[in-house]
Structure 1
Amino acid sequence: MEIVWGTKDLLIAGQPYQGFPILLWDSMESCSQANQFFRYYLLRGEIGSKQSWPSTGRALYDYFSFLQAHELDWRNVDRGEAKSLVAAYRDYCLVTCELGRNTTRQRLTYICKFYEFALQKGWVTRLPFGHEERTVKRETSFLEHIDSSGGKALVNDVMPRCYKSLPKFLSMAQTKSLLKAADNPHHRIMIQLALRTGLRRNELATFPLAYVFDPDKAGRNERNLRVLLDPYDGSGMETKGSKERQIWVSRKFMSELYRYVSKVRGERASLGKNQKALLLNHLGKPYGSAGKSLNRIISKIGKLAGIEVHTHMLRHTYATHTLVNLQRDPQNGLDPLVFLQRQLGHGSIQTTIVYLHLINEMADKAVFAYDDELNQMAEAA
Structure 2
Amino acid sequence: MQEQARQQVIDFLQQLKVERRASEHTLSNYQRDLKQLSFFCQQHQLTAWGALSSADILKHIAERHRVGLGSKSLQRELSAIRSFYLFLMKTGQVYNNPAQHVKAPKQARKLPKTLDVDQVNALLDAGANSVLELRDVAMFELFYSSGLRLSELSALDLNDIGKHDKQLTVLSGKGGKSRLLPVGSKALQAIQTWLKVRPTVADEAALFTSARGKRLGNRSIQLRLKQWCIKKGIPESVHPHMLRHSFATHLLESSQDLRAVQELLGHENISTTQIYTHLDFQHLAEVYDQAHPRAKKTK
TM-score, scaled relative to structure 2 = 0.70
Alpha-carbon distance between aligned partners in 2 of 1:243 and 1:37, rounded to the nearest angstrom: 21
Cα pair distance change 1:174/1:30, threshold 3 Å: farther
State the match for 2:74 in structure 1: 104
Larger fraction in helix: 2
State the match for 1:90 in structure 2: 61
Q: 2:12 touches 2:84 (CA, 8 Å); kept in 1?
A: yes
Alpha-carbon distance between aligned partners in 1 of 2:65 and 2:242, rounded to the nearest angstrom: 24
Cα pair distance change 1:84/1:350, threshold 3 Å: closer
Alignment partner of 2:247 out of 318, 321, 333? 318
State the match for 1:370 in structure 2: none
**C-alpha deviations, 1:201-238, integer Å up to 9, x for none?**
2321133334264xxxx6xxxxxx5314164xxxxxx3
Q: 1:75 touches 1:123 (CA, 8 Å); kept in 2?
A: no
- Report the CA distance between 1:320 and its aligned residue: 0.5
Alpha-carbon distance between aligned partners in 1 of 2:158 and 2:32, rounded to the nearest angstrom: 38
Aligned residues: 277
Relative contact order higher in (CA < 8 Å, ≥ 6 apart): 2
- Report the CA distance between 1:282 and its aligned residue: 3.2
State the match for 2:213 in structure 1: 284
Give the secondary structure class of the aligned counterpart of 2:180.
Answer: strand
**C-alpha deviations, 1:239-271, integer Å up to 9, x for none?**
445555432223343223222322xx43xx23x
- Report the CA distance between 1:108 and its aligned residue: 1.2
Alignment partner of 1:352 out of 273, 282, 289? 273
Report the AA paired with residue 273 of structure 2.
Answer: T
Q: 2:111 touches 2:279 (CA, 8 Å); kept in 1?
A: yes
Give the secondary structure class of the aligned counterpart of 1:246.
Answer: strand
- Report the CA distance between 1:182 and its aligned residue: 8.5
State the match for 1:14 in structure 2: none
Give the secondary structure class of the aligned counterpart of 2:115.
Answer: coil
- Report the CA distance between 1:357 and its aligned residue: 3.2
Gapped runs of 5+ residues in structure 1?
2-24, 130-154, 219-224, 232-237, 328-335, 366-381
Alignment partner of 1:298 out of 217, 225, 232? 225
Cα pair distance change 1:105/1:171, threshold 3 Å: same
State the match for 1:248 in structure 2: 182
Larger fraction in strand: 1
Note the 1:89-238 alignment, pairs <5 A: 89-99=60-70, 101-115=71-85, 117=87, 156-161=101-106, 163-172=108-117, 174-175=119-120, 178-179=123-124, 180=126, 184-210=133-159, 211=161, 213=163, 226-229=166-169, 231=171, 238=172
Cα pair distance change 1:95/1:294, threshold 3 Å: farther
Gapped runs of 5+ residues in structure 2?
288-299
State the match for 1:38 in structure 2: 13
Alpha-carbon distance between aligned partners in 1 of 2:224 and 2:64, rounded to the nearest angstrom: 28
What is the aligned-residue RMSD (CA, Å)? Answer: 4.2
Q: 1:75 touches 1:124 (CA, 8 Å); kept in 2?
A: no
Report the AA paired with residue 199 of structure 1.
Answer: L
Alpha-carbon distance between aligned partners in 2 of 1:299 and 1:93, rounded to the nearest angstrom: 33
Report the AA paired with residue 276 of structure 1.
Answer: A
Alpha-carbon distance between aligned partners in 2 of 1:125 and 1:30, rounded to the nearest angstrom: 15
Alpha-carbon distance between aligned partners in 2 of 1:186 and 1:309, rounded to the nearest angstrom: 18
**C-alpha deviations, 1:295-342, integer Å up to 9, x for none?**
354356567755444322221111111221335xxxxxxxx3344334
- Report the CA distance between 1:293 and its aligned residue: 3.8
Q: 2:170 touches 2:181 (CA, 8 Å); kept in 1?
A: no
Alpha-carbon distance between aligned partners in 1 of 2:251 and 2:136, rounded to the nearest angstrom: 22
Cα pair distance change 1:37/1:255, threshold 3 Å: closer
Alignment partner of 1:261 out of 195, 198, 211? 195
TM-score, scaled relative to structure 1 = 0.57
State the match for 2:262 in structure 1: 341
**C-alpha deviations, 1:67-126, integer Å up to 9, x for none?**
548951453789999x95433442344342443x22321121112333455577787797
